Structure 1
Amino acid sequence: MPKENCLIVVAAGRQLDLLRGEASRIARGAKADWWIDRAEVGTRFCFEDAKAKESFALTCDSFGIPCKDG
């Protein structure tokens, strides 16, 4: 699967559950698909839509959860 619209997030437990819910909400709003992969360090959240990825990055920032392109 292509990884151009992916972010790597380092989170666990409730934070990861929160981010899954937000990713689902964002993707549904963008009418795009999303998926999660394991990364070397953290979890990779991938979106079909670049705008959904950017919105998810802003969400991570608002929760104080670091993320990076991946």
Structure 2
Amino acid sequence: MTKENCLIVHAAGKQLDLLRGEASRIAKASKVDWSSDRADVGTRFCFEDAKAKETFASACDSLGIPCRDG
């Protein structure tokens, strides 16, 4: 999967589990794949399309979890 539709989040433990659930739900609703892996600082979440990425960014914002393009 390309890194153009990726966000790096700074979360751990239960917050990270919550974000993985959100990513799965968003990807399923958008009918796209997603992945997550460790980044230099935080965890990288990648989606197949930009719309899913933006929806995930909004979810991060609403949960108060910092994220940035990555």
Identity %: 79
Give the TM-score normalised by the residue count of structure 2. Answer: 0.98
Q: Structure 1: which 5+ residue stretches go unaligned?
A: none
Alignment of 1:19-30 (within 5 A): 19-30=19-30
RMSD: 0.5
Partner secondary structure for residue 11 of structure 1: coil
1:6 matched residue in structure 2 = 6
Q: Structure 2: which 5+ residue stretches go unaligned?
A: none
1:49 to partner: Cα distance: 1.2
- Tell me which stretches of 4 or more aligned residues in structure 1 moved more than 2 Å: none
2:16 matched residue in structure 1 = 16
1:51 to partner: Cα distance: 0.2
Deviations 1:11-61 (A, max 9, x none): 000000000000000000000000001100000000001100000000000
Q: Indicate whether 1:32 and 2:25 are aligned.
A: no
Give the TM-score normalised by the residue count of structure 1. Answer: 0.98
